Chains A and B, each alone.
Chain A
C-alpha cells in the first residue's frame, strides 16, 4: 500500500500536514539552522502588522505547569520590512509560507491583505484576529461574531486571487462554533484552532502579577484538551471547513489526536521553545502512526474520531 502524507488547506497543497505555529518560529531564519524549511508542510510566520512594534515590557514570560504564559505584544519590524527582507529569503529557501497578519483596525486587515497579493512562495494567509480592536474599546476581534466577520471580510475583499484565508480563532469565547460559522460566511477558507488562552500568574514573593502586562496567553500541553474540544466541535458543525489544529502538540501522538478530531493540518508552537527540532520529530512520528494504524492518507484520518463507534 502506498501512503500519501500530503494534505490541503483550501487551495493550498502541502506535502505534509506539519506546520510551525505563528509566533513560535519567527520568519524561519533561526530554525533553518536546525533543519531545511522545505521539510515543513509550511512555515507560518510571526504575525505581521503594518508598523514596527517594540512589543510589551518585560517580564513577558512565565513558565506554568505543562505550559507557559507570554505577552510579547507582537514585536516586529512591520510589513514593509517583512516584504523586503523575509519574503525573498523564504522564497530563496524554497519554503512554503503562510503569512500571519494582525491588525488593530478593520482597515489594517484590508491594507495588509492588499500587500499579500502575488508574493513568491506564499501559499496562504493566516489571519490573527485575536488582537484588541483599537476602534472598539480594545475588544478582541475574534471574541465577537460581528468584529470577527468584519476583519475577515476586509481580507476577503482585498486579497484577490485564490490564496486561502485561514482565520485564527481565540478559545476565549462561549461558542467557538458560532464564530467559526461567521468567519466561514465572511469568506474564510479555513480556521486555525486555537490561539492561546488568556491567563495570569502571580509571583508569591513579590505578591504581584509576574508579567509586566499582568495577563498573557497560555500555551503548551496544558491547553491541548481545550484545543481538541474546539477542533472536534467545529468539525462536527462544519465538516467541510478545513481546520489547522494547534495547542500543545509535542509529539506525533498529539498531532494524531488533532487529525482524529478533524484537523487537516497541525501547527507545532511552544514545543519548539523546548526543542528546536520538535516540528521534525512530530512530522516523523505522525507519519509512522498513520502508517501503523493502516491509513493510506492524511485525508482518510481527518475527523476519524467522529465516526459511529460500534461496541
Chain B
C-alpha cells in the first residue's frame, strides 16, 4: 500500500517517523513489522527494508497511523529518514508474528537494545491494560542510542538504563542488571528486542532464573513474506526437531529457549535435513 509520511523527527541517533496507513493500523500488534521499498522508482536497491512497529494508532486526527523508529545506518534507511513530510512510501504491513500476551496478569520485564526498544512501548501499554506489572531495561553503547520517549514510559513501573560508556544510567551491559531486577521484581516473563548477541545473553539469564523469554529476532531478510528463505535460523520445535525457520513469518517473535543461538555461519548438528 501507499503510506503517507506525516511526521519525521530526529530523536537522538534515530528518526521517529509516522505514516498514515488508514485501517491497516488496527491490524498491527506489538512485535509485528513493516517492509518499505526504498530509493524511489529507479532505485538500484531492489529489496524492502524491514522495521519493527513502534506504535500503531487506530484513530487519530490523521486516521490510522503506524510509527517507526529508524536508525539511518545504511543507504536504504538513510534515504527513508531523508524523506520530507507528505512523501509517500510503498509499505507492506503488518508482517510477522506478535508478542504473546498472557491471559492472566503477570509481572513482565521488557528488555530492549538500541532502537530495539521501539516495539516494547506499545507492548508495555498493552500489558498494563491487561493488568500486568511492567518493568523495563534499555541498553545501548551510548546515551544518544537509547530510545526512551516520555510518552512511552507512562506504562512502565520502573525503567533501568545501561550504556557501555556510562554516558547514561548504569555503566555496563543489560545482562549486568538483569539478575537483580528479575529477583527483586519477581519477574515471570521477559520480552526482548535488540541485537542477536543480546537476545542470546538474555536467554542464558532467563534460563538460569527459570523465566519465560519471548524475543523478537533480527535476521537479514529479502522478501518478508516467507518465500525467499534467507532470514532463517535454527529453532527446536515441540517435537524436539530443530528446523531452519523463517524469522519473517515463523517470527520475528520466538521463544528464546527454543532458538539455537551462536549458529552464525554454521548449521547446528542434527538440524532437520542437515
Residues of A at the B interface (CB closer than 8 Å) are: 23-26, 30-31, 33-34, 51-63, 65-68, 70, 72, 75-78, 212, 220-221, 250, 270-276
Candidates A34, A54, A273, A274; contact of B274 at CB < 8 Å: A54
Nearest chain B residue, comparing its CB with the CB of A59: B220
Candidates B48, B233, B267, B272; contact of A56 at CB < 8 Å: B267
Q: Is the CB of B227 within 8 A of A31?
A: yes
Q: Is the CB of B244 within 8 A of A272?
A: no
Could you name 29 residue pairs across A and B whose Cβ atoms are closer than 8 Å? A23-B229, A26-B226, A26-B227, A30-B249, A51-B273, A53-B273, A54-B244, A54-B271, A54-B273, A54-B274, A56-B267, A57-B263, A58-B232, A58-B233, A59-B220, A59-B230, A60-B229, A60-B230, A61-B228, A66-B44, A72-B228, A75-B229, A75-B273, A250-B46, A273-B46, A273-B222, A273-B228, A274-B47, A275-B37
Q: Could you tell me the distance in whole angstroms from the C-beta of B235 to the nearest C-beta in chain A?
A: 12
Nearest chain B residue, comparing its CB with the CB of A31: B227
With the chains together, A105 CA to B260 CA distance in Å?
32
Report chain B residues within 8 Å CB of A270.
Answer: 46
Main secondary structure of the interface of A (DSSP, over half): loop
B92 CB–A CB distance under 8 Å: yes
Report chain A residues within 8 Å CB of B37.
Answer: 274-275
Q: Could you tell me the distance in whole angstroms from the C-beta of B45 to the nearest C-beta in chain A?
A: 7
Given contacts A24-B227, A57-B265, A60-B230, contact A52 B272 (CB under 8 A): yes
B126 CB–A CB distance under 8 Å: no
Q: Is the CB of B92 within 8 A of A276?
A: yes
Given contacts A53-B273, A54-B273, A274-B37, contact A63 B45 (CB under 8 A): yes
With the chains together, A295 CA to B249 CA distance in Å?
42
Report chain A residues within 8 Å CB of B92.
Answer: 276
Report chain A residues within 8 Å CB of B230.
Answer: 58-61, 70, 72
Q: Is the CB of B222 within 8 A of A221?
A: no
Q: Is the CB of A24 within 8 A of B228?
A: yes
Q: Is the CB of B220 within 8 A of A61?
A: yes
With the chains together, A61 CA to B223 CA distance in Å?
11
B207 CB–A CB distance under 8 Å: no
Nearest chain A residue, comparing its CB with the CB of B222: A273
Candidates B222, B244, B274; contact of A68 at CB < 8 Å: B222
Q: Is the CB of A77 within 8 A of B47?
A: no
Q: Could you tell me the distance in whole angstroms from the C-beta of A279 to the nearest C-beta in chain B?
A: 11
Candidates A33, A60, A68, A77; contact of B232 at CB < 8 Å: A60
Candidates A55, A65, A78, A274; contact of B244 at CB < 8 Å: A55
